[in-house]
Structure 1
Amino acid sequence: MNLNSLLKDIDFEPTAEDMEYLEKETKEIVDTLKKNTKGEVFVGGSFAKDTLMKQKKYDVDIFVRFGSEKEITRDFEKLIGKLKGYKKDKVKGSREYYSIYKNGMARFEIVPVVKVKKPQEAENVTDLSYFHVNYVKRKLKSPKEVRLAKAFFHACGVYGAESYINGFSGYGLECLVIYYGTFEKLIKALEKIKDQEIIDPEKQYKNKAEVLIELNESKLGSPLILVDPTFKERNVLAALNIETFRKLQSSVRKFLANPSKRYFEKREIDVSKLKKISKGQEFLEIELKTDRQEGDIAGTKLKKFSRFLVGELEKSFNIVKEDFEYDDNKTGQVFLVLKSRVEVVKQGPPLKMAKNVKAFKKEHKNTFEKGGKIYCKEKVGLTGKEFVKAWLGKNKAVVKQMSVTNMKV
């Protein structure tokens, strides 16, 4: 299908019924908050900027601007208590906030922030939300272009600044669409990037060299540096890593070569396809559970453990294919296609540690010395499933320390 025709025909705007419900519930919450606080209440996020895309479950951000941290500590919990008829979850973040809901259709995030006159005065990133909303509402010409970007990036698995995704935040995509003008121009520009690119939409720096000097070094690791239009000392895409960026570029190339609506639709991992490509090899599916807080914390813990486990498997197997899927609750799935190595080399202690060397030789056959250390060659002899079960039996303490409460192979 022709790219222009496709982009003209599709949109991911929420239905009129969905918007009516969200507007009604949001107004009810905002009115209650305003009646019970001297703080300024404002709606933020995608809902406020008209960049909300159609979803099964929506998130609406509502901020309460207090005069100080002291006021937040003193008044925020009492204020939440005034919201009747909602289920409430306290969420840990840079500041604790509440996620409230009546049903599975929408969650309303009630976030306390400190009212600052200038972004430079902000001591917490959430304090900048007020400025982000106003910037996007003032600058964005076509919300549809942002919805296209969000849907595409979400389908690619690169939408979200959470640690288990390391991708593009919603505000980041809004700024990029404002800068490039359209979704099409955005993805074509990103596809061409080879080395680290710096984008300074409001030209707050004289040149790119100045950006690299002035920004904190910890914010310069992303392949794409986007200077926050509202606060020059912040890289909006600091969470983005090179693996996620290359994953996006690959999807963009495929899409541009054969434009189709399916690239905007999130697909579950195709287990049957993985099993098919594992012919002559081994397919492994591992379910992980954690007791940590749903969302970024749980997802990050599960992803970190997944990478650790894959690292253990790589000592005895070649990883042909690896996928990780997180359900936004407390469960993660690891999908692997493995090819067993005939034998592996294990490193032992330095030769000067005679007692340890003797113990190593007693435990292992086929030892040899190299570079001042002792090694051995061993046949693998186990399937991936057997290896994981044996590893789990020996490393229950490690699994517990990494906040994994259950593991099923």
Structure 2
Amino acid sequence: MKTVKSREAVLEEVFDAVSRAVTPLPQEADAEKEFALKQISRLESVLGEDGTRIYFIGSAARDTGLAGDRDIDLFVAYPTRFERDYIVERTKRAIAAVLPGKWEMHYAEHPYFQAVIEGFKVEIIPCFHAVPNSPIKSAVDRSPLHMDYLQKRLSVGQKRDVRVLKLLLKRAGVYGAEASIGGFSGLLCEYLVLNYRSLYGLILASASWRPPVVVDIEAIYPNASPLEVSCRFSGAPLVVVDAIDATRNAAAAVSSYSLAVFSSLSSAILVSKNPAAFFEPHPFVQLLPSKAKLLLKKRGTSVELLQVPIPANLVEDVYHPQVRKAAESLASALQRAGFRLVGWNYRVVDGKALLLFESFDGMLPKLRVVQGPPVWFGAQVEKFVSAHARGVVRGPFIVGERVAVELLQDNVSLAEELSRLCSSEEISFGANLGPAFRRVSAADAFSGAGLELLSIYLSKKSFWFSSK
């Protein structure tokens, strides 16, 4: 009699196969550690005093990295008696003295240093010594504590599961805590696998997640409801209470969209006849201009693209939220003006942000219905009626429980309204963008970055819904 494998056994076979493909070879992992220790030794020769310590931290150090990543993160931890500017400058001088290379200074919460040496992408981050659940001087101070906590607890099998989880999230486009992704960081992957004991356990649980979701590994809030814990962390859809800092949500970067993607992905892989397909690449195929034009014609909608230059000195985590905020503000303003949006999207490429808006209406009708407050609020109703005393073609009258009027307006196209909004003060464009948005011409919309954004927008599809 043929034995039917359990769902867990089927998925474990797939996880094993994926793990063999994404796990660094022993010589690769050894080379990473040997390289990191060599750099640490060099830095210690000029920094190994005054209680300063250097740590090799991150997925490569914990054996949870993917083959070919070649990322080396070194944290230089100073005593807290020093000031931030001092530790940055001292680290900079030490690097110049013992680590030759083309180093660049980057900025997150505070400066860090990056270079490519012998094929490794090396980051050196100055920080301060810290102890669990105590005040810190900078966000990166927690990293050595995370290293110690996870290295002591993750089993060999769980490290395998973390690597497989990372690939699964990458394929779905939700791996990475960068502002442009709003997804799951490597650290978060490790916490989740640790909490649910295995990748299968995590997938089984996440398939039935309903926000707010709370993961409290150390039972720091044992008597609080998920909603109460979420409220402590600004109403985040996913809260993973940091095991070494009870005031921090390790999943703060995860957007509602990314949480929904992972839950949906988990549900699908649990019933899929071909779970291996979830780990296969899904390459982006750019549409030909003729194909993009044909698809837009079939949709019968109106599409407009805007672009704005990104200042060269801005890093992604600064400019990306501003671009998104501008896109959201423009979309809301268009809807308030009466345009019925199908959707919108944006992309940053080649030093500029491109924004796309699609509307059912290419032109606003002459008639506009304006809804006011519920009739129960007499004073507000009076103000509304008084404010709309002129130009009314019908009304005031009641719709449902609200007072409303009908007005005549000029015929305005989607392009005209976007142009007006971009030169007005109605929109919050962010501190670094300003009102420098301009309309993308038809020729540019169907070539280069414009065509790429159109292709992404028109080809949008969540692959796991067809990976049955």
Q: If the TM-score is normalised by the length of the shorter chain, which range does it land in?
A: 0.7 to 0.9
| Structure 2 residue 323 is matched with structure 1 residue 302 | yes
Unaligned runs of 5+ in 1: none
CA contact (8 A) 1:290 1:302 kept: no
| Structure 2 residue 76 is matched with structure 1 residue 64 | yes
Counting matched residue pairs gives: 398
Question: What residue is the counterpart of 2:16 in the other structure?
Answer: 8
Deviation for aligned residue 1:130 = 1.0
Question: What residue is the counterpart of 2:104 in the other structure?
Answer: 88
**Where do 1:232-251 residues align within 5 Å?**
232-251=246-265
**Where do 1:99-178 residues align within 5 Å?**
99-102=113-116, 107-141=121-155, 142=157, 143-178=159-194
CA contact (8 A) 1:6 1:261 kept: no
The 3 A distance-change label for structure 1 pair 232 and 393 is: closer
Distance 2:395 2:432 in 1: 35
Distance 1:78 1:330 in 2: 32
The 3 A distance-change label for structure 1 pair 223 and 355 is: closer
CA contact (8 A) 1:166 1:239 kept: yes
CA RMSD of aligned residues (A): 4.0
The 3 A distance-change label for structure 1 pair 217 and 394 is: closer
Corresponding letter in the other structure for 1:116: A
Deviation for aligned residue 1:161 = 3.4
Q: Which whole-Å deviations, capped at 9, do the CAs of 1:192-246 have from their partners, x for residues lacking one?
A: 112433322233454444x876x69441622333222233343322343433312
Describe the SS at the equivalent of 2:248: coil
Deviation for aligned residue 1:311 = 1.6
Corresponding letter in the other structure for 1:232: A
**Where do 1:71-82 residues align within 5 Å?**
71-82=83-94
Deviation for aligned residue 1:33 = 2.3
Among 189, 193, 202, the residue aligned to 2:205 = 189
Question: What residue is the counterpart of 2:63 in the other structure?
Answer: 50
| Structure of larger gyration radius | 2
Question: What residue is the counterpart of 1:30 in the other structure?
Answer: 40
CA contact (8 A) 1:274 1:337 kept: no
CA contact (8 A) 2:419 2:438 kept: no
The 3 A distance-change label for structure 1 pair 99 and 72 is: same
CA contact (8 A) 2:335 2:341 kept: yes
| Structure 2 residue 330 is matched with structure 1 residue 290 | no
Deviation for aligned residue 1:15 = 6.4
| Structure 2 residue 422 is matched with structure 1 residue 392 | yes
Distance 1:302 1:105 in 2: 33
Among 338, 346, 368, the residue aligned to 2:359 = 338
With normalisation by structure 2, the TM-score equals: 0.70
Corresponding letter in the other structure for 1:235: N
